[in-house]
Amino acid sequence: MIAEQGHLPAIKQVPELQIYALYDRNFERAVELQQHFSVPHAYKTEEEFYSSDIDAVVICTPAPVHHKNVLDAAKAKKHVLCEKPLAMTEKDMLEMEKVMNDAELQFFIGFNYRFSQSSIDIHRLLRERAIGEVRLLRLIYNWHLHGKWEINEDGEQVDTALRKGRMDEGGPLVDCGVHQIDLARWWLESEVEWQHGIGVWLDTYEAPDHVYLHMGHDCGAHTKVEVSFSYNATSRDPRTHFQYELIGTDGVIRYNREEHSFELRNSHGTQYLPWHPEKSFAGMYREFAKALASGKPGDMPTAHDGILASRIARTATEEAIHNRDNPSRNNPSSKMTAADVHVHADPEEIPIDFLDLPLKLKKSRDRQPGRSLSPNPAKEKPGGSKDT
């Protein structure tokens, strides 16, 4: 799917690159794509493929076989652009990086969100200090992963193969959230010093299907990523929510995919910027062509970028899984209630949306000014914001 809908059409748009050969273990599928995209060669075996007159390989296979694919490409002396995640474990990723470096080959990962013109504009605006000193990034990608259900050969309603595969590989933060992690590092030009993951389980997989990631950068900025595979997954008429908000000491940059909106607001006024889709395969391949020609990565995301993003995503996901069975007030699990974690403090100190029983708030003289005392108070989140 990703090769047919993303990579192959994009390569055709870049004059400096030619799709010379295809390999798929399903040879009929390879021939189908060969004919559709007018590719000179399709091969039945990997040996024939790697022996052909190619300079670089794009790997679009499932994540569990990326490790073998990259090592095979290194053996054949081919540069590599690999889909994310690079591999299933950091040990494998580090080995892949070392083998490619030892072979003096370029090794990139397909973080194509960098190459949206809107992402490039954000990078430029931050360098120009258009919103002053950046303090907070709020990056949201909530979607349904093309729906939850499919009907199997026995006529039973089951999870789609796509959903099962992506959840077994690590869930939404590992699969999609790495794009937001990479953008935060690239936009801020600042490394992540710490991360904290909180999971929500609307489904029954080990990994959470809705995740909150908090990251602290060495520049002092904070990034919050929210990513979901279960947002409207069972809705008849689903919609998604994709948004960036970058908040600084002198304004806000806001990008929203569904609204097709992109704006900068600061002390000088409001500027409505040209909106572009959130990703660009073609932009990535234009930069890939430059890297192959020059021998320098430029803005291409390297294997090192992929390893760091995966490390952050997997560490946060594993933390969320651990805290699912060991909840606390700082790590509430969607499977637990206040009673399950023995929270019996003053109701004012308990996040109200963490309780499953109605509470009657008592008036007190030391109550904070402005706090709601209405019979039906708005739900208060742990951070102090309210849902009305």
* Model pLDDT, residue 330: 66
Which stretches does DSSP call E strand in 218-323?
Answer: 222-228, 241-248, 251-256, 261-266, 269-272
- The tens-digit pLDDT sequence of the chain (388 residues) is 789 999 999 999 999 999 999 999 999 999 999 999 999 999 999 999 999 999 999 999 999 999 999 999 999 999 999 999 999 999 999 999 999 999 999 999 999 999 999 999 999 999 999 999 999 999 999 999 999 999 999 999 999 999 999 999 999 999 999 999 999 999 999 999 999 999 999 999 999 999 999 999 999 999 999 999 999 999 999 999 999 999 999 999 999 999 999 999 999 999 999 999 999 999 999 999 999 999 999 999 999 999 999 999 999 999 999 998 777 766 666 554 434 444 333 444 433 333 333 333 333 334 333 333 333 333 333 444 433 3
Give whole-number Cα distances, 251 to 103, 108, 118, 134, in Å: 47, 34, 17, 9
The reported pLDDT for the residue numbered 324 is 87
Name, in order, each residue with C-beta under 8 angstroms of 237's C-beta and a sequence gap of 6 or more: none
Measure CA 67 to chain center: 20
Facing residues of 253 across strands? 246, 264
Q: What is the predicted pLDDT for the residue at 328?
A: 72
Task: Give the whole-angstrom CA distance, residue 311 versus residue 323.
Answer: 18
Alpha helices in 65-133 (DSSP H): 66-75, 90-102, 117-127
Rounded distance, CA 167 to CA 237, Å?
23
CA distance 220 to 135: 7
Q: Which pLDDT belongs to residue 340?
A: 46
Residue 232 C-beta-side C-alpha neighbours within 13 Å: 11
What is the predicted pLDDT for the residue at 388? 33
Distance (Å, whole) CA 181 – CA 312:
8
Question: Which domains, and CATH codes, for the chain?
Answer: 2-112 (3.40.50.720), 113-324 (3.30.360.10), 348-388 (no CATH)
pLDDT of residue 1: 76
CA-based radius of gyration for the chain: 23
